[in-house]
Each structure stands twice: as C-alpha cells, then as structure tokens.
A and B are shown apart, each in its own frame.
Chain A
Amino acid sequence: MKTSIDIKIFLVNSNLFYLNIYEQSFKKLGYKDVTIFLNGADCINELTQKPDIIFMDNIINDMNGSELLKEIKSLNPNIYVVLGIDPEEIKTAINTLNYGVFDYIIKGEDELFKAESILVKISKLRSIIQRKSLNICF
C-alpha cells in the first residue's frame, strides 16, 4: 500500500513560477514525488508513470483544460484530476465535474490550503478503497 508520501503527483500549468510554488508547497507537506509539466502533451506522454493525482490548470499553452482532462480520463480513468479555475469560471468547473474531475480549486489567496485539503481527502479515499479491496481478497 502506498502511503500518502508515496503518492505520485503531476502538476500541469503554463506558468513555471506557479508550478514551482505548488511543487514547493507540496514537498513541504511531504509529497516528494511531484512532476511538473508546462504543457498538456508532455503530461499525456508521461502518463505511463501512472500518477495518482494530477493538478491541472483550466487553460494550458497547447490545449484547453477539458481536452486534456478527457485525454487523461480516457487513458486512465482512475487518476484523480484536480482542476484549477478562476472564480469567474465556476460554470466551467461544474461542467468538467461531468467529465470526471475529482475536485476543483478556485484560485485565490487560499488555494494552496484548498489543494492541501484535497490531498488529504484523496488519501483518505484511497485508504478506504484499499481496505475494501483487501476485504474482497480475504
């Protein structure tokens, strides 16, 4: 069983500065396995690494968020995808929930806290699922 520390995280955003901020803050929380991508195509190519969670921006250099999302979900529907959106894009967010976004982060001052709470939520969820699948085995 993977512990929360072993969780593999992908970060996709066109802004390298922003990516570094996220990376730093995740590493601070103990998530060491963080990979950053500046565009969607690179992220898709690396999906073979089997990330557990992908944090992605709604607008990326080479494609828009929903395209990337659909691509990720069609290649591996088990990845938890978390979408970063602007406050005025809430409508989009609700739409993307239909495409299998696990959760979204409304950008703003407290977004890193929100990201942290989502990570906690996902680890909890994973441990529940893990337990369930163990139950089935025995």
Chain B
Amino acid sequence: MELNAILQKQVTAHLTAHQLNDPSFKQFINEINRSYVSFQENKEHTEIAFKLSEKVLVKRKETEKDLATTLQLLTTLFSNLNSGIIAEDENRKILFTNQMYCDMFSIPLAPASMVGMDYSDSAEQTKELFKKPISYIAEINKLLHFRAPVLDHVLEMVDGRFFERSYMPIYNDDVFKGTLWKYTDVTEKIKTENELRRSEENYRNMIEHASDIIYKTDHNGLFRFANPVAERITGYKMEELHKMHFSDLINPEYKLRAVKFYLQQVRKKISSTYFEFPIITKKGKEVWIGQSVQYSLLDVNSDDFELVALAIDITAKKTLERQLEASFVKAEEASKAKESFLANMSHEIRTPLNAIIGMIRELRKDDLTATQKAYVENSSVASKHLLSIINNVLDISKIEAGELTLDNEHFTLDQSVNNILSIMSARAEEKGIYIRSEVSPQIHKALLGDQLRVEQILLNLVGNAVKFTNNGGVTIKCELLKETELEQTIQIAVSDTGVGMDEHYLKNIFKKFSQEDKSVSRKYGGTGLGLAITFELMQLMHGNIDVKSEKNVGTTFSVYITFKKGDATHIKGLFKSTEEIDIENVRILLVEDNEINRLVAQNTFKYYNCIVDEAVNGLDALEKVKQNAYDIILMDIQMPEMDGLQATQKIRHELKNATPIVALTANAFKSEIEKCKMAGMNDYITKPFEETALIKLISRYTKKKVPGEPVNKVINISENSLKLYDLKPLKEMSRGDNTFINKMITLFIEQTKLSLNEINSAHVGKDYETICKVAHRLKSSIDNLGISSIKKEIRELEKLSKEPVLLPEIAALILLINSTLSKVLEHLPSEILKAH
C-alpha cells in the first residue's frame, strides 16, 4: 500500500491538470494499481514495473512537448494566415480559429475565447452576409452530409466582397474527426479578373468593329490575323488571307519597294514604321493604304517576332494629293507664263514705243507752229511717261521673279548725285523750285555697288520730291554714319518742302500700286510702283529706308546703305560729259528688221551726217559686211532668217571681222545682255534708246584717234577684274611637288576637253540630262582651279538643265562656259612649262 501511494504520487507529479482529468490516464493509473497488487509479492518485479512506468512517462512527456511545439507552430501559422480558418470537431465544437476569420465575419470575439463554442448554428447566424443565403445554407448542409473536400468555392457577399471557401473534413483512421473551414477574401482577384476579361472583350470588339484594317503577320510575312475591315477592303476572306503573303496584295509596281522597306524594319528591328503603297483588291481595284507597322518580339529570349499592322485607306488623300500636285504644276506653269508674257510684252511694247518716241523726236526738229509744238511736247512727255511705267513694271516683275541681281562695280556717290541733279534740275526749274545737294567729303571716293540701281533709288526719291513740291525745293544730303576699315555706312536723305503725307498713309507707302488717295494719281500721275521698287532694291542691297513726313510741311526719305570701299583707279566715266561727239562720216551698218525703227535711226544718223547702210536680217548683214567696210555695226537681236547673235558669231569667227558691234535690244533682262557679250558684241543699248546715248556710244567706238581707249572694252574689263584661273590652292596642296601640279593640269585639260565635247554634243542632241550631269562634274573642277568667272554660270547650267525650259539661257550659258574654258585650256599648257 505504501508503494502504491508513492507511485500514485510519482505519476501525478508528472502529469498536467488536463491529463489528470483525462479518463484514459485515470484508466492507466488504475491499471498500474491493479498490476501493483499482483506484483506486490515480488518486490523486485514491482521495482521493474515502476522503472518501466517512469520510462513510459518520460517518453510520453517528450511527445507531449513535441506536440505542443507543433501546435504552437500551427497556431502561429494559422493566426498569420491570410485566410480565415476555423476548425471544428466531430461534435461541431470549435477547436480553433484565427483573427482573420473573426474579421471576415465581423465577430467581435477573440479567437482564443471561441474555442469550445458550439459551431452548429454558425451558418444560420452568418447567412445574411451572403448574397444568396438560402443556397449558402443548403450547400453547408450538403458539405456536412457528404463530408468530402470541396476546395475554392467562390461566394459573393452582400457588401460586394467575394470569399473563396474550402471545406476539408478531417479523418483519423477513416474516422471522421471534424472539419477545417478556410475562407479567403478574393475580392481583388475577382475584380482584376473581371476587368481583364472586360478589357480583353473591349479590345476584341474594337478590333472586330474598327474602321481601320488591323492585321498581323508572322516573321515570314504571312497573314496570321486580320479583322473584318481587312476582309472588306481587300475582298479576301480570312481563310484566303491565311494562305497569302502580305506583299501578294501590293500593286506589283510598288511591291519591291514595300518588301525592301519592311525587310529593313525587320533587320534593324525598328519598333514602328509608317509607309504608303497601293494594294490591289480581289476585284482588281487599286486602294492606297497608309500603314503603321509595329515590330514585336514574341519572346524576349528568342528572335521570333510578329508584325502588327494598322492600316487606313488613304485613297481619297492620295487622289487629293495628285490633284494638288497637278494644280501646283499648273500654277508653276502659269507663273512661268506670266514671266515670259512680261518678257515678251517688254519687247512688244518697247519696239513700237521706240518708233513713237523716235518719230516725235524727229518731228520736234521740224519747223512747227506754236500749237503743233505744244502737241508734240505733250506727246513726248506722255510717251516718255509710258516708257517709265513699262520700265517700272518690268523692274517689279524682275524683282518678283528673283531675276534682278545687283552689280558690284566701283562708283562715286558724288557723281551719281550729280547725275540725278542734272536729270532733275530741268524739271525743278520748270516748277520754280530749287534742288541742291550736299555730299560729305568723308565719303570714300570709290564705293563698290550697283551704281545704276543706286541712281534709280535716288531718281525715284528725288522725282517724287520734285513732283509733290510746289514751293521751296528739294535737298539731297549724303552723310557718313559709320566706317570700318572695309566698309562705309551712308545715309542719303532726300528732303522736300512739299505737300507731305498723313501718318496713317506712311505705313502703306512702300506697298505696290499705292498712292495717298486715288485723286493723287490723277493729279500727279505715276503708277505707285516707284517706292515699291525703291523698297525692294533697298532689300536687295541689305539697306534700310525710312520716311518722316508732315502734312503741308514736307517729307524726308532716308536710305541707309553699307557699301564696301572701292578703288578709285577703277572708276572710268563710261559716258564722260566732256566726251567730244564727232561722228561725221562714220560708216554705220544698221541691222534691223523693223522698218519704222530703221527710219527713226536713219533720221538720227542723217542729222549727224553719218553714212548709213541697212540690212534687214542677219544673213543680209553678213553679205554687207563681206562687201563693205564699216566703222560700227548696230545689230538688232530678234530678226527673221538669222538673228543678231548668230550673225555676230559668224562675223567674228567666220569673217574674222573685228568691227565694233553694238546690240540694239528691247529686252532689258540681264541674261539677254550676257548673251550679246558672249556672242562677241562690244556693247548694247536698250530700245527705245535716247538719241544722245546712242550717238555717244557710236562716237566712243569710232573715235580711233584717241589712244588708250580700247575698242572691245567690255571684254577687257571682265578679263582684268577677274583672273581666268587660280592655281594657288593646287600649289598649296602639292607642297612643292611639281609633278602633282603637272599631273593635275594635264588631267584638267584632258577631262575638260572631254567634258566640253560631251556637253556640246549633248546640247546638239537636246540631251539635257547629260548636260546636267556633265555640268555637275565640271563644277568641282572649275571650283578647284579657281575659274571664278563661271562658277555661278556652271551652277546655273546644272540647275536649268534639270528642267530644260529656258533653252536660250542654257544655250547662252553653254556658249559662255565653252569660251571661258577654251581660254583656260589655251593658257594652261604654259603653266606646265613654267612648273618645270
């Protein structure tokens, strides 16, 4: 009995309170008690039993400890699980739950305090939280009945949440031991899934119902997908497209280009491109497509890709483009037509005007009554006015066409101002007003600029000033504003004491065809072009112009121009007033097809006692030149049979005749004048000509007695002022290697000869493309050899021959280039000798 008590004590000491209440333990202890009785006789056996029990107990305790640890682990895991967990035993008593479960079902209890509670009523209590409470209850009952696991069943909650429920029955040796319920909040997941599905659907809808073609091709260019629009526009069904290459649709003419384009995209992996081409539909219709193509890699790790294309029908746009292009060409043509119209008009109007002015001039020399004199005087003024209008219109159109380029010559401003004074003083005198000038002595004697145009500006301003001034007078004042080593900025102010202008009118003053009011033009005459031309000329000279005016007080126009300083030694009065005019007995050949013009000239020459012979065209002139000797030939340009240019060339080259030839031209365009000089003429005079100017010109070319006056002055000037070529760059490059220079010179000679032959035969064959190419090629040789006199011309030739419209200009340029290069070729061989 004593031992029994000790044992009891021993055992209970090792047991927890929970285990002590455990019926199985109680049974175990009773068993031991019972065995103790049977063993009590044998002390030794009892001790063995005792020791054995102790061992069992220790082992059990260790297992208990392990279990506790495991339980602890599981509890922690469950508590922190992102799902609500609740476990119940076979009697529906709660074994365990976690905070998440309480939170999900808004249970205001701590999870631990729920252990042992009855769970059987939970479905009823929570059903209101579910959107479909009745089916919820029914499902729970079904689950409990069948006791089979059902995982991840989604339930919708009243408040919009979604719970995923898992039912897991627990069996121990096939005996049902309870249930584990797991609830997970999958609201976010469901929402994302729904959104994804919706957007996918949206995209599908968009693609299906898009108004543009959307398709995909694989890396070989075979169609892999096409939307209904693609089917509709191409006329091919999806099944047909699947067997096609994207290029099968493209208009054969454009196919190669398109395929190359997309090969490029693929090769360079360009992510996005845009390209336009026409396709041919199943029905054979051409449809223009503008498509952007995305290159997209299918897999980052491989090179496999597809092309996704979005294409729109741009047929309408293309049609419009073509129409636009056509109308642009038309507009271009119209503008060209306008240009040539103006050029022709210039000729057509000037020729009869020449006759009118000439005839009036002759009439004035006769004895007239006072009335007749007045009539003639008026006619003369009117015809001169008409001439000035035509000149102005021509100037403006030249400026607009960009034809007007400025000369860069040495001139004296003082001289120009004096020229203007002498022209205008007569008119000022008539009106009884003064006209005077002040030119600052600081202004450089020689300036570089376009003297004619500077005088034109002055004439416009002074002419206006005189026109609008009735009392007082006009002052021209030239002052130096700024000076650098190379340049001088000069202000030329033309002030009058005339009618003045309103301030608001000053704004419009430089616009074309504007005068202060319509009555002004009736009262004072004029086209309103003068100031516009002045303004444009100032722009060309990079100058400024401004105006100050007060009504009834006067107006001051000031122009500001920067000139480069020139060299006074270059200035030679072309028309010296001191020039002695003596053309008596000068033998003149007048080549002119217009009878009236011949008559006009004849009259003039008779007046000066010249001996005049006439020819009616170039051929006629050639015959006359062969038979007779002349001191000067006056040559019209446009003539039937043979024109003046051809005739001049023949006189110079075939007849080897050096008689001075002066062109009589109605065309004041610079290119025309160039052509004349090119053909071998010495000078020109534009029709209608001023009698004195013509006489002076003749006198200058026929006064052989005066030494030092070169006959072919024009050509000489160009030769002196411009070096034919410049070997300096070549020499610098050679670093003293004469063989290199010689080689280059020889090369230049050979190449240029070939090029000239090529260009000339191309010109004969009207092969402008070749001309363009050869010009392009020649250009760099000309540049490198510093043949600066035709640098501009060779470029002009290349440009013009691209679109061969201005054929005479092209011919003239070729002629000029030929003659210049021939001269160069003549001189160059001597350079080789020099180098040796």
- Cβ-based interface call for A138 (8 A): no
- Cα(A24)–Cα(B776), bound, Å: 21
- Cβ-based interface call for B19 (8 A): no
A21→B784 contact, CB < 8 A: yes
In the complex, 15 of the A-B residue pairs with CB atoms within 8 angstroms, ordered by the A residue number, are A15-B780, A16-B751, A17-B748, A17-B784, A18-B780, A20-B743, A21-B730, A21-B744, A21-B784, A24-B734, A28-B733, A59-B773, A86-B795, A107-B783, A108-B783
* 8 Å CB interface, B461-518 against A: none
Measuring CB to CB, which residues of chain A are less than 8 angstroms from any residue of chain B?
Answer: 13-18, 20-21, 24-25, 28, 59, 61, 86, 88, 107-109
B784→A18 contact, CB < 8 A: yes
- Cα(A99)–Cα(B795), bound, Å: 27
A15→B751 contact, CB < 8 A: yes
Q: How far is the CB of B758 from chain A (nearest CB, A)?
A: 11
Sorted nearest first, the 3 A-B pairs with minimum C-beta distance are A18-B780, A15-B777, A17-B781
- Cβ-based interface call for B341 (8 A): no
Contact partners of B748 in chain A: CB under 8 A:
17
Contact partners of B28 in chain A: CB under 8 A:
none
- Cα(A7)–Cα(B119), bound, Å: 90
- Inter-chain pairs besides A21-B730, A108-B783, 9 sampled, C-beta below 8 Å: A14-B773, A14-B776, A14-B777, A15-B780, A20-B743, A25-B733, A59-B773, A86-B795, A88-B799
Q: How far is the CB of A55 from chain B (nearest CB, A)?
A: 13
Residue of A nearest to B774 (CB): A14
* 8 Å CB interface, B722-760 against A: 730, 733-735, 740, 743-744, 747-748, 751
- Cα(A20)–Cα(B748), bound, Å: 10
Residue of B nearest to A13 (CB): B780
Residue of B nearest to A70 (CB): B260
Measuring CB to CB, which residues of chain B are less than 8 angstroms from any residue of chain A?
Answer: 730, 733-735, 740, 743-744, 747-748, 751, 773, 776-781, 783-784, 795, 799
- Cα(A18)–Cα(B740), bound, Å: 13
- Cα(A47)–Cα(B26), bound, Å: 103
Contact partners of B779 in chain A: CB under 8 A:
86, 107
Q: How far is the CB of A102 from chain B (nearest CB, A)?
A: 16
- Cα(A14)–Cα(B773), bound, Å: 9
- Cα(A109)–Cα(B735), bound, Å: 19
- Cα(A109)–Cα(B751), bound, Å: 21
- Cα(A16)–Cα(B781), bound, Å: 9
Q: How far is the CB of B216 from chain A (nearest CB, A)?
A: 26
Contact partners of A107 in chain B: CB under 8 A:
779-780, 783
- Cα(A55)–Cα(B415), bound, Å: 53
Contact partners of B743 in chain A: CB under 8 A:
20
- Cα(A20)–Cα(B733), bound, Å: 11
B740→A24 contact, CB < 8 A: yes
- Cα(A24)–Cα(B751), bound, Å: 18
Residue of A nearest to B752 (CB): A17
Given contacts A25-B733, A28-B733, A107-B783, contact A20 B747 (CB under 8 A): yes
- Cα(A36)–Cα(B328), bound, Å: 42
- Cα(A20)–Cα(B779), bound, Å: 15
Contact partners of B730 in chain A: CB under 8 A:
21
Residue of A nearest to B735 (CB): A28
- Cα(A109)–Cα(B784), bound, Å: 8
- Cα(A21)–Cα(B744), bound, Å: 8
A15→B735 contact, CB < 8 A: no
- Cα(A86)–Cα(B751), bound, Å: 21
Residue of B nearest to A25 (CB): B733
Contact partners of B778 in chain A: CB under 8 A:
15
Q: How far is the CB of A112 from chain B (nearest CB, A)?
A: 8
- Cα(A29)–Cα(B784), bound, Å: 19
Residue of B nearest to A58 (CB): B776
- Cα(A14)–Cα(B776), bound, Å: 9
B744→A17 contact, CB < 8 A: yes
Contact with B773, one of A16, A25, A61, A86 (Cβ below 8 angstroms): A61
Residue of A nearest to B770 (CB): A61
Contact partners of A28 in chain B: CB under 8 A:
733, 735
- Cα(A81)–Cα(B780), bound, Å: 20
- Cα(A110)–Cα(B748), bound, Å: 21
Contact partners of A86 in chain B: CB under 8 A:
779, 795
- Cα(A61)–Cα(B754), bound, Å: 14
- Cα(A86)–Cα(B780), bound, Å: 10
B733→A21 contact, CB < 8 A: yes
Q: How far is the CB of B463 from chain A (nearest CB, A)?
A: 39
Residue of A nearest to B730 (CB): A21
Residue of A nearest to B754 (CB): A16
Contact partners of A109 in chain B: CB under 8 A:
783
Contact partners of A88 in chain B: CB under 8 A:
799
- Cα(A49)–Cα(B93), bound, Å: 92
B733→A17 contact, CB < 8 A: no
Q: Which of A21, A28, A107 has the most CB of B within 10 A?
A: A21
Contact with B776, one of A17, A21, A59 (Cβ below 8 angstroms): A59
- Cα(A60)–Cα(B734), bound, Å: 26
Contact partners of A16 in chain B: CB under 8 A:
747, 751
Contact partners of A20 in chain B: CB under 8 A:
743-744, 747
Residue of B nearest to A15 (CB): B777
Residue of A nearest to B268 (CB): A77
- Cα(A20)–Cα(B783), bound, Å: 14
- Cα(A40)–Cα(B773), bound, Å: 14
Contact partners of B795 in chain A: CB under 8 A:
86
Contact partners of B751 in chain A: CB under 8 A:
15-17
Contact partners of B735 in chain A: CB under 8 A:
28
Given contacts A24-B734, A25-B733, contact A17 B773 (CB under 8 A): no
- Cα(A17)–Cα(B523), bound, Å: 66
Q: How far is the CB of B590 from chain A (nearest CB, A)?
A: 44
Contact partners of A24 in chain B: CB under 8 A:
733-734, 740, 744
Q: How far is the CB of A99 from chain B (nearest CB, A)?
A: 9
- Cα(A88)–Cα(B776), bound, Å: 13
Contact partners of B734 in chain A: CB under 8 A:
24
Q: How far is the CB of B219 from chain A (nearest CB, A)?
A: 20
A18→B733 contact, CB < 8 A: no
B747→A17 contact, CB < 8 A: yes
Q: Which of A15, A16, A25, A88 has the most CB of B within 10 A?
A: A15
- Cα(A18)–Cα(B773), bound, Å: 15
Given contacts A20-B747, A24-B734, A24-B740, contact A15 B773 (CB under 8 A): no
Q: How far is the CB of A34 from chain B (nearest CB, A)?
A: 14
- Cα(A61)–Cα(B799), bound, Å: 17
Contact partners of A61 in chain B: CB under 8 A:
773
Q: How far is the CB of A135 from chain B (nearest CB, A)?
A: 23
Q: How far is the CB of A30 from chain B (nearest CB, A)?
A: 13
Q: How far is the CB of A107 from chain B (nearest CB, A)?
A: 7
- Cα(A17)–Cα(B779), bound, Å: 11
Contact partners of B733 in chain A: CB under 8 A:
21, 24-25, 28
- Cα(A109)–Cα(B788), bound, Å: 12
- Cα(A43)–Cα(B730), bound, Å: 26
Q: How far is the CB of A14 from chain B (nearest CB, A)?
A: 5
- Cα(A109)–Cα(B733), bound, Å: 13
B744→A15 contact, CB < 8 A: no
Contact partners of A108 in chain B: CB under 8 A:
783
- Cα(A34)–Cα(B298), bound, Å: 46
Q: How far is the CB of B528 from chain A (nearest CB, A)?
A: 35
Q: How far is the CB of A86 from chain B (nearest CB, A)?
A: 8
- Cα(A61)–Cα(B784), bound, Å: 20
Q: Which of B730, B743, B751 has the most CB of A within 10 A?
A: B751
Q: How far is the CB of B794 from chain A (nearest CB, A)?
A: 11
- Cα(A20)–Cα(B744), bound, Å: 7
Contact partners of A17 in chain B: CB under 8 A:
744, 747-748, 751, 780-781, 784
- Cα(A107)–Cα(B780), bound, Å: 8
Residue of B nearest to A88 (CB): B799
Contact partners of A13 in chain B: CB under 8 A:
780
- Cα(A86)–Cα(B783), bound, Å: 12
Contact partners of B744 in chain A: CB under 8 A:
17, 20-21, 24
